[in-house]
Structure 1
Amino acid sequence: MQLKDAKILVIDDDADVLTAIRLLLKPFVAEILTEKNPGNLVSIISDRKFDIIILDMNFNGLVNTGNEGIFWLNKIKEISPDTDVILITAYGDIDLAIRSLKEGASDFIVKPWQNQKVIESIREMLQNKKKAGSKSLKSNSKGEKIVGESEEILEVFSKIKKVAPTDANILVLGENGTGKDLVAKAIHENSNRKGKPFVKVDVGALTSTLFESELFGYKKGAFTDAREDRKGRFEAANGGTLFLDEIGNISLRQQARLLTVLQNRHITPLGSNEVIPVDIRLICATNLDISELSDENKFRKDLIYRINTVDLIIPPLRNRGTDITLLCRYFLEQYSEKYTKGPFKLDQGFLKKLKNHSFPGNVRELQFVIERAVIMADSNLLKESDLSFSVIESTFPHEEIQDMRLDTVEKNTILKVIDKNKGNISKSAKELGITRAALYRRLDKYDL
């Protein structure tokens, strides 16, 4: 993003500071809004989208500890996690600076500031936002995206960008609803085969007879209902990508037939002796764990090696931290447009209930939850009562703990993970599925 296109919000209870920053930035940016009262922050950013928020760390002049700024920083990240925040203060306290960065701030400047340094800092921040492109990854030509900013999903983005230009066979692993099909499409769209066919087959739903006719095609008269020649999915995908979904559910006989085709790189349609060469990039997906696929009574190891040059593990939504809020707003925008309703504001109770849900159905469940909320909403403010979860999905099983209060469960889990990782905060945060900043907040919350 260019500086001239940026929308910036400045919050400071000093009118002189607001005037100074507004006069400094107004010639360079598309829009700059100033606000003296931080209490209005929530309503402002719920209504409008800003690229950067410049936030004072102390308000009212009563307790100059910086805690006020960090409190409002957390509010911003809760409502709009993809907005960059620059904190400003008159106190060059390095500990406070480090703490604010851990809490999610993008930068930290000290008053009195150098005008040129502020401008350059903002310009660099916007350029990095553009380079990263990390909030979403285009999945297909229809504009579908994989949305997220958590460390776990960014690692998936990174792997996709590395493997997409190659012709390596990919195995996508993940629970139902995590978006394995979108990952497969994203690999194709970012590959050298883009523009060629992308053919998806749910092989787990095919019977033995349908498996061969669907994948390899058939000639007229090959069986009773074969009234004309038909190409199989392998031939249809020639030059492009073949995506075999639910690969873990096919029988050993089907596995043997598939392995032969992958080794020889040609197919023979049913009812024919003609050998047809095929050039495809293979992507497979399953909701089974790799350890289950390693059981030779269920799955051939030689086929695993053939389809699994690289594996991509898609994390469950419950392990993706702020991605829940990010995805919520993404789907909210989609369905507001689809049903010509909104724009919607989100009540804090709505967001809290959303974050406390374990989402056993993952992103797919969240998508349907938001669509239902938009359809059933009586007003443009979505409240906790507007959010309902389907009984179809079973609750994610938690370890049995005598004290089942949420705070106690969370505290005990954090202690166990940190102890397991011998105090390493980075490893512990990754295992917990949250950012380092989020883990620091919880350590402070529970006085650990």
Structure 2
Amino acid sequence: MTDAKVLVVDDNKSVLSALEILLQFEYKSVETVFNPNQISSFPNLDSFDIILLDMNFSAGVNTGNEGLFWLREIKKKAPNTSVVMMTAYGAVDLAVEALKEGAADFILKPWNNDKLLATVKSAYELRKSRQEIRSLQKKESGLKQVINEDKNYIIGNSKALNSILNLTRKVAKTDVNVLITGENGTGKELIARELHRTSKRKDEVFIGVDMGSISENLFESELFGHVKGSFTDAKNDRIGKFEAANKGTLFLDEIGNLSLQTQAKLLSAIQNRTIVRVGSNKTVPVDIRLICATNCNLEQMVADGLFREDLLYRINTIHLEIPPLRDRDEDVLILSDFYLKRFGNKYDKPNLRINNAAQEKLMRYAWPGNVRELHHIIERAVILSEGSILKPEDFLLISKNVASLNMGPTTLDEMEKEMISRALEQHDGNYSAAAEQLGVSRQTLYNKMKKLKS
């Protein structure tokens, strides 16, 4: 017995009885209604999976207009319920009209029991399909919200930042390709997400791809997808990032890391707005908004023969250069306060604040790692803090002298030795305190010092 609810609406009580007897052995719940006027006030009409509805209720009338009227009323209250129309007066044009109005099928009286049961079963399958589609649509919408959820924020009020944000919001209204450049840690992905968030595609998906992490032999599979059996590990069909981003935004980060061979494949997909899965000959159209980012000088790479000039023109309709943090002096303390509150709450230290001397230290620093470096330095200071006031010594910054030596390249050992020396100096030779500041154990600090002295 199928776990479904069926409602039969007919002004002939003999028909109601016959259908109730026939259907009660097939479906868990079967209810009948003699007067169609009850439909308007029927409770939970959308809880029925199938409704069998007569087309004529008034004596001597066989136009089917009454049935069509009640079909429309049912569809207003229960749009996903499958409605099967019944009439003793068969006509092709009447059946077509009922189907246009949303009926699932059409039954002639007198009916054949097997045929009627098959029709009702098909209507039930249609109802289940509609429910599954609604469920998938809800899941898809939920997944898009999760994927698009951006827990990072663009923080600051400097002139340099506001200038780039104003340009970003102007460009977002269009579908042009955008190239975002800037140093590591400046927030290129955040700007890409802001472009998506303020665009007409904001309700669709944002797909980000780190091009530097994709090996050349997997490039086509990752971006364009593949079909089952196209190579050794292709056990199933798989869509690539271009198809996954269809109707939405595709963000290709670190695009300067691509080889010339992969650049040519990417250029073809961008030009034609179609892709071909690995192992297939079928072209698949894709509708995406393309955003690329890099910290490389692509113009110089073109001059050096390392980047295709035609690809640069394709991705560079609009160029957004993200300012480094050293050009956003007034944002340093705003960002510091933001991260202090975030990590203070995360690590259950909500009352922390940075004293004036420490603020001056943060303001004087050149921030070679930009916002990302500030993020990590504040988090580390919060984790290791012992009081409610953060002082200059709580912030481990790379020495400007070390960062800007003009005496040739600085080795990692030299950098490490400088940091250890500064930590010991700040803590008057206290190895435990220095080790804690550096984020290592006391024994590890001893071992590093021994290695550096040898």
TM-score of the aligned structures, taking structure 2 as reference length: 0.55
Q: Does 1:388 align with 2:370?
A: no
Q: 1:217 to 1:140 in 2, by over 3 A?
A: closer
What secondary structure, in the 3-state scheme, does the structure 2 residue paired with 1:294 have? helix
1:280 to 276, 279, 288: 288
Deviation for aligned residue 1:348: 1.2
Could you tell me how far apart the structure 2 residues matched to 1:328 and 1:201 are? 29
Deviation track 1:285-331 (CA, whole Å, cap 9, x = no partner) reads 00012432432511111100100000100011111111111100011
Could you tell me how far apart the structure 2 residues matched to 1:228 and 1:307 are? 32
2:333 to 296, 319, 325: 325
Could you tell me how far apart the structure 2 residues matched to 1:337 and 1:266 are? 47
5+ residue gaps, structure 1, are 1-138, 401-448
2:317 to 309, 314, 326: 309
Deviation for aligned residue 1:144: 2.1
2:307 to 299, 311, 321: 299
1:150 to 143, 146, 158: 158
Which residue is 1:337 aligned to? Answer: 345
Q: 1:171 to 1:141 in 2, by over 3 A?
A: same
What secondary structure, in the 3-state scheme, does the structure 1 residue paired with 2:396 have? coil
Deviation for aligned residue 1:140: 5.8
1:235 to 236, 243, 251: 243
Could you tell me how far apart the structure 2 residues matched to 1:390 and 1:197 are? 39
Deviation track 1:22-52 (CA, whole Å, cap 9, x = no partner) reads xxxxxxxxxxxxxxxxxxxxxxxxxxxxxxx
Could you tell me how far apart the structure 2 residues matched to 1:285 and 1:293 are? 14
Which residue is 2:203 aligned to? Answer: 195
5+ residue gaps, structure 2, are 1-146, 408-454
Which residue is 1:179 aligned to? Answer: 187
Pairs aligned (count): 261
Which residue is 2:216 aligned to? Answer: 208
1:223 to 225, 231, 234: 231
Which residue is 1:378 aligned to? Answer: 386
Identity over aligned residues, as a percent? 48
Deviation track 1:334-373 (CA, whole Å, cap 9, x = no partner) reads 1111111031122111111111111111000000000011
Deviation for aligned residue 1:399: 8.1
Which residue is 2:88 aligned to? Answer: none
Q: Does 1:358 align with 2:371?
A: no
Q: Look up the equivalent residue of 1:206 and give its one-letter code.
A: I
What secondary structure, in the 3-state scheme, does the structure 1 residue paired with 2:180 have? strand
What secondary structure, in the 3-state scheme, does the structure 2 residue paired with 1:224 have? coil
Could you tell me how far apart the structure 2 residues matched to 1:385 and 1:232 are? 48
What secondary structure, in the 3-state scheme, does the structure 1 residue paired with 2:397 have? coil
Deviation for aligned residue 1:149: 1.2
Cα RMSD between the aligned structures?
2.0
Whichever structure has more helix as a proportion of its residues is 2
Considering only CA atoms, is the larger Rg found in Structure 1 or Structure 2? 2
TM-score of the aligned structures, taking structure 1 as reference length: 0.56
Higher relative contact order (CA 8 A, sep 6+): 1
Q: Does 1:347 align with 2:352?
A: no
1:360 touches 1:394 (CA, 8 Å); kept in 2?
Answer: no
Deviation track 1:143-172 (CA, whole Å, cap 9, x = no partner) reads 421111111111111111100111010000
Deviation track 1:184-203 (CA, whole Å, cap 9, x = no partner) reads 11111111000111111111
Could you tell me how far apart the structure 1 residues matched to 2:316 and 2:403 are? 28
Could you tell me how far apart the structure 2 residues matched to 1:390 and 1:339 are? 25
Taking the TM superposition and a 5 Å limit, the aligned residue runs for 1:50-129 are none
